C-alpha cells in the first residue's frame, strides 16, 4: 500500500516508517497539517495515518479540508488524545479507524490490513504495461505468465515506474519516494537496484520495457492498464 504518514514526533515517525517499509508498504512522511493536505490532495495514497496534534492545522482540520476537496482516501487517526470525545469526533469526521498512543505495532499492522481488505475492491489492485503485470495486493509480478521474484525495494521501484508509465523519473525523485531521504549525488544506489530490476524484468526479453534516459533518469515504456 502507498501510505502517507503524518507524524511530528521524529522517533515515532522513523519507527513507524521503518516497520511499515519492512512490510512492503511505500511510505511518504510529513510533519505538518499543511504538508499533509497538499500531499494527500496531489497524490494517490491508499491510506493516511494521521496524528491530531500537529503544527499549524491539526489532524481534525486536515481531514475536514481533504473531504471538502473531494479526497476520499481512508484515514486512520493515530493520536495520544485518548478521550472518548476525541475518538467520536475523529470517526464522525469520516476516519475509518482511531488508534490511541501508545499502541502495539502488530495491532497497527492489523488495522492497516483491515483497511486494505475493506477498500481494495474499489481501488486499483493490478497494474499492467504490455505483457508485464504487478498485483499490488498479492505483491506478485508476472511477465508472460511467469512469476518474477523481486525484493521489497525492487517491487516499490517497479510500482513507481508503472504508475508513471512513459514518464522519465529522475534519480532524485526515485530516491525521495522510495527511500524517503535526500538525494546523494555520489550514491549509486539507484543504479545498482535498477540494474537488478531490469535484469529480472527484461532479462532476455526481446521487448525491453525499462529504459534509461541518459542524463535524466528512468522510465517504463508502454500502455498502462489499471484493474
93-114, pLDDT tens digit by residue?
999 999 999 999 999 999 998 8
Domain boundaries, position 62: 2-122
Assess whether 20 and 101 both reside in one domain. yes
Yes or no: say if 30 and 160 are a contact pair by the CB < 8 Å rule.
no
pLDDT digit string (tens) for 170-187? Answer: 988 888 778 766 656 567
pLDDT digit string (tens) for 13-67? Answer: 999 999 998 888 889 999 999 999 999 988 889 999 999 999 989 999 999 999 9
Say how many domains are in the chain.
2
Assess whether 150 and 211 both reside in one domain. yes
Q: What is the pTM of this model?
A: 0.59
Question: What pLDDT, on a 0 to 100 scale, did the predictor assign at position 182?
Answer: 61
Amino acid at each position: 500500500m502507498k501510505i502517507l504518514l503524518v507524524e511530528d514526533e521524529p522517533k515515532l515517525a522513523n519507527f513507524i516508517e521503518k516497520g511499515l517499509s519492512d512490510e512492503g508498504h511505500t511510505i511518504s512522511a510529513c510533519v505538518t497539517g499543511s504538508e499533509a493536505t497538499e500531499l494527500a490532495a496531489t497524490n494517490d495514497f491508499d491510506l493516511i495515518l494521521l496524528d491530531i496534534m500537529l503544527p499549524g492545522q491539526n489532524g481534525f482540520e486536515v481531514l475536514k479540508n481533504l473531504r471538502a476537496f473531494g479526497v476520499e482516501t481512508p484515514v486512520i487517526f493515530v493520536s495520544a488524545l485518548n478521550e472518548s470525545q476525541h475518538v467520536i469526533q475523529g470517526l464522525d469526521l469520516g476516519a475509518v479507524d482511531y488508534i490511541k498512543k501508545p499502541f502495539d505495532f502488530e495491532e497497527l499492522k492489523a488495522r492497516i490490513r483491515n483497511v486494505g481488505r475493506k477498500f481494495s475492491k474499489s481501488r486499483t489492485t493490478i497494474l499492467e504495461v504490455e505483457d508485464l503485470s504487478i498485483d499490488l495486493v498479492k505483491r506478485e509480478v508476472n511477465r508472460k505468465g511467469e512469476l518474477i521474484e523481486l525484493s521489497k525495494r525492487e517491487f516499490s521501484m517497479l510500482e513507481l515506474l508503472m504508475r508513471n508509465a512513459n514518464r522519465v523519473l529522475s534519480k532524485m525523485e526515485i530516491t525521495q519516494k522510495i527511500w524517503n531521504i535526500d538525494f546523494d549525488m555520489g550514491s549509486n544506489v539507484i543504479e545498482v537496484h535498477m540494474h537488478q530490476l531490469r535484469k529480472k524484468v527484461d532479462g532476455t526479453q526481446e521487448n525491453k520495457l525499462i529504459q534509461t534516459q541518459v542524463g535524466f533518469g528512468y522510465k517504463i515504456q508502454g500502455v498502462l492498464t489499471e484493474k
